[in-house]
Amino acid sequence: MNSGEKRTLFEKIWDQHVIHSREGYPDVFYIDRHFIHEVTSPQAFDGLKKRGIQVAKPNKTIATADHNVPTKDQHLPIKEMLSRFQVETLTQNCKEFGIELFGLGHEKQGIVHVIGPELGLTLPGMTIVCGDSHTSTHGAFGTIAFGIGTSEVEQVLATQTILQYKPKTMRIEINGELKPGVLSKDIILYIISKISASGATGYFVEYAGTAIEGLSMEARMTICNMSIEMGARGGMIAPDEITFEYIKGREYAPKGEAWDEMMNYWKTLYSDQGAQYDKVLNFDANDIGPMITYGTNPGMGISIGETIPDQPGDASFKKSLDYMGLSSGERLLDKKVDYVFIGSCTNSRIEDLRLVADFVKGKSKAPDVNVWIVPGSKAVEAQAKREGLDKIFLEAGFELRQPGCSACLAMNEDKVPAGAYCVSTSNRNFEGRQGPGSRTFLASPLTAAAAAITGKVVDVSTLLKKEAHVI
Amino acid sequence: MSFEKFSDTAVLLPLENVDTDQIIPARFLKATTREGFGENLFCDWRFNKDGSPKPDFVLNQETYKGSILAVGKNFGCGSSREHAAWAIGDYGFKVVISSFFADIFKNNALNNNILPIVAEEQVMDRLFKELQNDPATEILVDLPNEQWSFGGKSYGFEINEYKKECLLKGYDNIDYLLSHKQAVESFEQKHILN
Ligand code: SF4
């Protein structure tokens, strides 16, 4: 590498972590932080046992139980036998291999991509992996973070390295001002609707531009979280003062001299002026309105007032609309909603809960809607209670549950029934994702809150205008 | 287990954006071993709620059989669950052919001795038509020469050298990584984030 070469942020971090490179072979790539959970780790630990080897660097792996846990009565033993066994297996493996576990009931437990950042375990410049595709969330801090399969979890446990091919790079710039009622969730749903669910496959994305720079860390996480929904290996945002301010003082963040040393390093983490990307896309923030999806992949999204498009002769498109019980040319506005789910690693952080609470304060949910609010972590839950948000939700008739992935993937008992429509702040609207036969409309927490109150799909920006709310 | 040249018939599933939640729904991810996922492959398309097979789904028909799966583009998008690759392998598929695979799925497949072949869209169209006309169409897969063929025409496919060697010689990723232990340790001594 000659020192005069201009490099992207991605390339800087990548180059720094390559231990061995050979033509035709994947790089041996070093991992700084490894998160594990109950669902994709047991077979990896089994692999270690079969080989008779230990975890190479136990202090670089952190475990939590999230995917499969109940979100009610977490103090009681898990009722469902297979779920309980899976969580117990994780506990056993962590004990045996010396890994720190924030298990069910632990004050630091939560969705893996919520607790990493909030504990200060996610730091700029790191390489981060987890057996979960939404590991891309951590990219909001200027990290190379991506989801891996269980065989790769085993690689990392065994060696703290992983075999990787360098992806191509893509820059997505969003400049301009966001309109009232438009959140970072709308930005990412908009981008995916423009480039499709496979539009960034093979790429690692860097998000930039004034609309991104103006976002809080939590809003940035929502964007990076959904990078995988356009096929990207991951997504990242260069760290800045907002990032450093967020990290400072968090439990596992560096302190004192170590902090100063890190800051010197972190300040080098940006894409050089004139660095080349394999692909560059530009969007104008002002074009983005509240978004909603109508189909069964996150690329099937529209601005909330638009009609569902047509793709004549496309069997997959037709199958998707049939599943959703919708047709081309139809509007989603005023569509009756049965469930509202506010949660998941996309939108279950304290800012999301605050936004929702601010909107619903003094109102009640529509009579026929079931509303679940599932905080992303014990810390978010505790903070919400400190701020009295729980009371606002209770008065509105919302059900505040305990932390976990919940109806995002419906592995536990939180399932949307077959045929029911759910406005969800999660990241996937796949067939059956929220329960067999469930029909998901992905949207922002504000749009979800508005659906909870009105019982239908509404354009939250018009409601805000009426209420003269300022968001 | 090595991956020699072989030929077989194929199962046709020309849908696009088949995500890993369709390949293996989340509720089946509660197992702590790698075995048995084939039973629930494409479960919600394959079975009714009461467990009876849905007659219109391809895996429940006699028409298409074989260890090759021919699918529409962006196959395996969605979650990183390796269970999707386990389910496909456990069901008996050795090769999946598509014009486009999601990254993580492709990697997971290769790590489980399943060969993902990427073909051009026109070739896929031809393959789908050929299979619709004649479900008994034989497909030849020749990994050593990076070629596959059907209906008298032959096509190349790309696979990187390392993965090819893994499939052909049964190399083990972790043995390969462990052979760099020394380099990892000296790396860590200088690494600012250590
Ligand atoms: S909340 Fe949903 S997307 Fe996020 S880690 Fe859990 S299951 Fe995956």
Expressed in angstroms and rounded, the spacing between residue A288 Cα and the centre of ligand 1 is 25
Asked if the Cβ–Cβ distance from B79 to A20 is below 8 Å, we say no
Please tell me the distance from the alpha carbon of residue A144 to that of residue A235, in angstroms, as a whole number: 8
Which residues of chain B are within 8 Å of residue A135 when distances are taken between CB atoms?
80
Q: Which ranges of A388-429 would DSSP assign to H, the alpha helix?
A: 389-396
With bands split at pLDDT 50, 70 and 90, how would you rate the model's confidence at A469? very low
User: At residue A291, what are phi and psi to the nearest 5 degrees?
Assistant: -110, 160
Q: ipTM for the complex?
A: 0.92
Q: Is A219 helix (H, G, I), strand (E, B) or coil?
A: helix
Please tell me the distance from the alpha carbon of residue A469 to that of residue A456, in angstroms, as a whole number: 20
Residue with tokens 């809960």: A353
What tens digit of pLDDT does each residue of A219-245 get?
999 999 999 999 999 999 999 999 999
Whole-angstrom CA distances from A69 to A49, A66, A80, A404, B69 are 26, 6, 9, 6, 35
Least confident range of A195-199, B161-165, B183-187: B161-165
State the pLDDT at residue B3: 86
What tens digit of pLDDT does each residue of A314-344 get?
999 999 999 999 999 999 999 999 999 999 9
State the pLDDT at residue A468: 55
C-alpha dihedral, A202 to B177 to A102 to B189, nearest 10°: -110
Q: Please report the number of interchain residue pairs, chain A to chain B, with beta-carbon separation below 8 angstroms.
A: 178
Please tell me the distance from the alpha carbon of residue B19 to that of residue A299, in angstroms, as a whole number: 13
* Portion 45-74 of B in contact with A at CB < 8 A: 49, 72-74
Tokens representing residue A421 in the block: 């429509």
Nearest CA in chain A to B45: A431
The answer, yes or no, to whether residue A24 has pLDDT greater than 70, is yes
Q: How many CB atoms are closer than 10 A to CB A120?
A: 17
Whole-angstrom CA distances from A419 to A322, A440, B55 are 11, 10, 21
State the pLDDT at residue A471: 43
Binding site membership of A406 for ligand 1 (Cβ less than 6 Å): no
* Domain residue ranges of chain A, discontinuous segments joined by +: 9-281, 291-470
Please tell me the distance from the alpha carbon of residue A152 to that of residue A164, in angstroms, as a whole number: 10
* Portion 92-131 of B in contact with A at CB < 8 A: 100, 102-104, 107-108, 111-112
Tokens representing residue A324 in the block: 């959703």
Q: How far apart are the first and last CA of chain B?
A: 38
Asked if the Cβ–Cβ distance from B174 to A148 is below 8 Å, we say no
Please tell me the distance from the alpha carbon of residue A421 to that of residue A340, in angstroms, as a whole number: 9
Pocket test for ligand 1, best of A344, A374, A415, A426 (most atoms within 8 A of CB): A344
Q: Is B59 helix (H, G, I), strand (E, B) or coil?
A: helix
Pocket test for ligand 1, best of A113, A226, A406 (most atoms within 8 A of CB): A113
Binding site membership of A111 for ligand 1 (Cβ less than 6 Å): yes
State the pLDDT at residue A3: 52
Which residues of chain A are within 8 Å of residue B191 when distances are taken between CB atoms?
30
State the pLDDT at residue A190: 98
The answer, yes or no, to whether residue A355 has pLDDT greater than 90, is yes
**Cα Rg, chain B, nearest whole Å:** 18
* Domain residue ranges of chain B, discontinuous segments joined by +: 5-159
Please tell me the distance from the alpha carbon of residue B155 to that of residue B146, in angstroms, as a whole number: 9
Q: Taking residues B21-43, what's their average pLDDT?
A: 94
Please tell me the distance from the alpha carbon of residue A58 to that of residue A98, in angstroms, as a whole number: 6
Share the mean pLDDT of chain A: 96
**Inter-axis angle of helices A42-51 and A81-97, to 10 degrees?**
40
Which residues of chain A are within 8 Å of residue B58 when distances are taken between CB atoms?
none
Asked if the Cβ–Cβ distance from A158 to B77 is below 8 Å, we say no
State the pLDDT at residue A426: 98
State the pLDDT at residue B166: 92
Q: Taking residues A350-357, what's their average pLDDT?
A: 98
With beta carbons less than 8 A apart as the criterion, state whether A229 and A205 touch.
Answer: no
Which residues of chain B are within 8 Å of residue A25 when distances are taken between CB atoms?
160-162
Q: Is B118 helix (H, G, I), strand (E, B) or coil?
A: strand
Q: Is A351 helix (H, G, I), strand (E, B) or coil?
A: helix
B38 has a chain A CB within 8 A of its CB: no
Which of B33, B77, B80 faces A132 most closely, judged by CB atoms?
Answer: B80
Q: Find, among A465, A457, A410, the residue nearest to A433 by Cα.
A: A410
Rounded percentage of chain A residues whose pLDDT exceeds 70: 98
Asked if the Cβ–Cβ distance from A159 to B184 is below 8 Å, we say yes
A9-281 carries CATH number 3.40.250.10: no
Please tell me the distance from the alpha carbon of residue A460 to that of residue A182, in angstroms, as a whole number: 9
State the pLDDT at residue B144: 95
What tens digit of pLDDT does each residue of B93-114 get?
999 999 999 999 999 999 999 9
Q: Is B56 helix (H, G, I), strand (E, B) or coil?
A: coil
Pocket test for ligand 1, best of A408, A429, A440 (most atoms within 8 A of CB): A408
State the pLDDT at residue A466: 74
Shortest alpha-carbon distance between residue B22 and chain A (Å): 7
Shortest alpha-carbon distance between residue A456 and chain B (Å): 27
Q: Are strands A27-30 and A18-20 parallel, antiparallel or unpaired?
A: antiparallel
Q: Helix, strand, coil % (nearest 5) of chain B?
A: 40, 20, 45
State the pLDDT at residue A465: 76
Residue A240: is it exposed, middle or buried by C-beta count within 10 angstroms (0-12/13-18/19+)?
Answer: middle
Residue with tokens 């090595």: B2
With bands split at pLDDT 50, 70 and 90, how would you rate the model's confidence at B4? confident
Least confident range of A453-467, B15-29, B123-137: A453-467
Please tell me the distance from the alpha carbon of residue A9 to that of residue A125, in angstroms, as a whole number: 9
What tens digit of pLDDT does each residue of A281-309 get?
999 999 999 999 999 999 999 999 999 99
With beta carbons less than 8 A apart as the criterion, state whether A371 and A458 touch.
Answer: no
Expressed in angstroms and rounded, the spacing between residue A225 Cα and the centre of ligand 1 is 10
Which residues of chain A are within 8 Å of residue B181 when distances are taken between CB atoms?
159
Q: Which fold has domain A291-470?
A: Aconitase; domain 3 (3.30.499)
Whole-angstrom CA distances from A34 to A44, A157, A350, B72, B184 are 13, 8, 24, 33, 16
User: CA angle, B77 as apex, B63 and A84 as ends, to 5°?
Assistant: 95
Q: Find, among A266, A275, A230, the residue nearest to A245 by Cα.
A: A266
Close Cβ partners of A55 (under 8 Å, ≥ 6 residues apart):
A48, A61, A97, A98, A99, A157, A158
Q: How many CB atoms are closer than 10 A to CB A39?
A: 28
B5-159 carries CATH number 3.20.19.10: yes
Please tell me the distance from the alpha carbon of residue A206 to that of residue A35, in angstroms, as a whole number: 22
State the pLDDT at residue A470: 43
Q: Which ranges of chain B would DSSP assign to H, the alpha helix?
A: 20-23, 43-46, 83-91, 103-110, 121-133, 161-169, 173-178, 181-190
The answer, yes or no, to whether residue B137 has pLDDT greater than 90, is yes
What tens digit of pLDDT does each residue of A112-160 get?
999 999 999 999 999 999 999 999 999 999 999 999 999 999 999 999 9
b/e map B120-154, b = 16+ CB within 10 Å: eeebbebbbebbeeebebebebbbeeeebebeeee
Amino acid at B109: A
State the pLDDT at residue A4: 67
Please tell me the distance from the alpha carbon of residue B4 to that of residue A164, in angstroms, as a whole number: 25
Which residues of chain B are within 8 Å of residue A147 when distances are taken between CB atoms?
79-80, 104
What tens digit of pLDDT does each residue of B69-95 get?
999 999 999 999 999 999 999 999 999
Order of strands across the sheet that contains A161-164: A18-20, A27-30, A161-164
3-state SS of A26-87?
Answer: CEEEECCEEEECCCCCHHHHHHHHHHCCCCCCHHHEEEECCCCCCCCCCCCCCCCHHHHHHH
State the pLDDT at residue A222: 98
B168 has a chain A CB within 8 A of its CB: no
